Structures are given as C-alpha cells and as structure tokens.
Amino acid sequence: MSGILDGKRLLITGVITEQSLGFGVAKYAQEQGAEVVLTGFGRLSLVERIAKKLPTPAPVIELDVTDAEHLDRLADEVRKHVDGIDGVLHSIAYAPPSALGGNFLNTPWEDVATAVQVSAFSYKSLATAALPLMGNGGSIVGLTFDASQAWPVYDWMGVAKAALESANRYLARDFGPKGIRVNLVSAGPQRTMAAKSIPGFEAFEEAWTKRAPLGWSLTDSEPVAKAVAALLSDLFPATSGEILHVDGGFHAVGVERTEK
Ligand code: NAP
C-alpha cells in the first residue's frame, strides 16, 4: 500500500512519552511510509525505550536545542542513519515554572529568556542545523498553541509562541529560495508532559470540550499527526509561512456551542 510519506526521511524531535505529539507524528509518518530518526533531550534511555514502541523502532540522536555542540554535530549524527532528510518536526517547548500559571507580572527576565530560547529561537537553530542534510528542498514543521490572543495561565509561554509564529514567517522567507517550506500546526490542548507542567491547564481542557465546533479529544494526537504529515508530504507544494489550525475549529468561534 502506498503512503503519503513513501520514501521520505524525517527528523523528529520532542518524543518523551507515547502521548508526545512528536510520538504521534513519528508513528503516523512510519505508517505512511517514512523513515524516521528521533532526537532526544537529556533522558536518552527513556526516549530510546519509547522509540521501540513505534511500528519500526527508530534510532535516537542526542539533541539539546540550546547546546551549540549538539547542533554542530547534528548533521553528522543523522548521516550515521540516513544519507539526508526531507523533513523536520520541531516539537519542543519549555518554560520555567515562574513563567507559567498566572505569575506574568513577576516573572524574571532570565526565565522569560529561557522560555523564548528553548521554545522559539530553537526553531531557527534546528532548521539551520538540519539544512546541510536537506538536498532538493523539503519541509520543516513546528507546533504552536494559538498565540494570537492572551490565555489564562499560559503567560510567557504564550509570548514565546508568538515569537515562534513570527520566526515561522521569517524562516519561510529565508528558506523559500532553497525550496524548503516552513509551516506551523496550531494544535488544541493535549494531555502531554509539557501540558501537565502548566498549572491550571484544565481551563483549556474544559473550554475546548465545550466550544470546539467539531468537538475535541484531549488524548488523541492523530488529528495533529495527520496535519503534520500532510505538511511534510508533497501535498502542500506551494504553502509556506502558514499556521494551520488543528483545534476542532475552536479558533473560529467566540462562545460555547449551543446544542441543536
Ligand atoms: P512533550 O511530550 O512534553 O514534548 C515536549 C518535548 O520538548 C519533550 O520531549 C522535551 O524533553 C523537549 N524539550 C524541552 N527542552 C528541550 C531542549 N532544550 N532541547 C530539546 N528538546 C527539549 O509535550 P508536547 O505537548 O508533545 O509538546 C510538543 C510541542 O507541541 C511543543 O512545542 C508544545 O508547545 C506544542 N503544543 C502542545 C500542545 C498541548 O496541549 N500539549 C498544544 C499545542 C502545541 P523533556 O521532556 O526530556 O524535557
């Protein structure tokens, strides 16, 4: 059976549990014919254990996106497994506790800087580190949480996501002439490790369940995975700098659903 990612070689970041959006993408991508290489941060043995749960166990390369040495050697490490790549998923975010949970007016700059470095600047760092591996064009995809408005408790992570969304446009500008598309998927809330570290995250869960016109599952990452896979495939050849919402339609409506 042919898949939309047949023959594609993908570098996928951000896998730490089976709930990770990165895991959902890696699984669906393999089902669609892709060859996958994962990166792991810090707890490599844990990532390696999760990597074995994919339909085809995937190799894991160490990558802290804030570590210049890791970024410098990324291309050589990837070449030990594949001779080049066609697509990259950035699925990385972190903000220190003081930057989340309703402390917006008191967060120190150092913690804001960490959030922006890991969650936004790293999109550029990963893209440029992967560039030598991308021969004839390709596709880079990242994951955001709609930064066009202020949310409860999301605080400086929301500001970091606004920076990520802007970086997406600038990367699209600079990578376009190389034939590389750069796009974000704006996902609705999912119960991942990153989400659980946000105090008050339940507010999103409740709002989405009530408002999303299509309804929304907090535990099924496949809708996000399918959209990412489509952007990594050849199905969007003229789309770049885009933010594709995969949120059950939440962003398009202003108040709760009324049942008819
Ligand atoms: P997750 O499973 O916790 O994944 C986040 C990943 O980022 C983890 O693997 C984490 O590694 C990694 N990471 C943190 N700092 C890093 C660094 N310096 N270098 C490399 N990797 C680093 O959570 P997720 O929800 O799937 O998050 C993936 C992406 O989806 C994030 O950009 C997130 O903002 C976005 N997103 C999530 C939701 C949601 O509701 N869950 C909604 C919209 C968008 P460790 O765990 O080992 O620290």
Domain-embedded: residue 1: no
Domain-embedded: residue 170: yes
| Phi, psi for 110 (deg, rounded to 5) | -55, -40
Question: CA-to-CA distance for 32 and 8, rounded, in angstroms?
Answer: 9
Domain-embedded: residue 105: yes
Domain-embedded: residue 2: no
Domain-embedded: residue 146: yes
Collect all residues with Cβ–Cβ distance below 8 Å to 73 and sequence separation of at least 6.
Answer: none
Domain-embedded: residue 260: no
Pocket flag, ligand 1, residue 49 (CB < 6 Å): no
Q: Torsion over CA of 113, 117, 120 and 123, rounded to 10 degrees?
A: 170
Q: In this structure, what CATH number is given to the domain that contains residue 97?
A: 3.40.50.720
How would you classify the pairing of strands 35-40 and 87-90? unpaired
Known catalytic residue at 161: yes
pLDDT, tens digit only, all 260 positions of the chain: 799 999 999 999 999 999 999 999 999 999 999 999 999 999 999 999 999 999 999 999 999 999 999 999 999 999 999 999 999 999 999 999 999 999 999 999 999 999 999 999 999 999 999 999 998 899 999 999 999 999 999 999 999 999 999 999 999 999 999 999 999 999 999 999 999 999 999 999 999 999 999 999 999 999 999 999 999 999 999 999 999 999 999 999 998 878 76
Take atom 47 of ligand 1 and give the residue whose Cα is closest.
41
Contact present, 14 and 91 (Cβ < 8 Å):
yes
Q: Which domain holds residue 209?
A: 9-249
Task: Give distance in angstroms: CA of 220 to centre of ligand 1.
Answer: 16
In the sheet with 243-246, reading across from the earlier edge strand, the strands are 60-62, 35-40, 9-12, 87-90, 138-144, 180-187, 243-246
Task: Give distance in angstroms: CA of 118 to centre of ligand 1.
Answer: 10
Domain total of the chain: 1
Domain-embedded: residue 179: yes
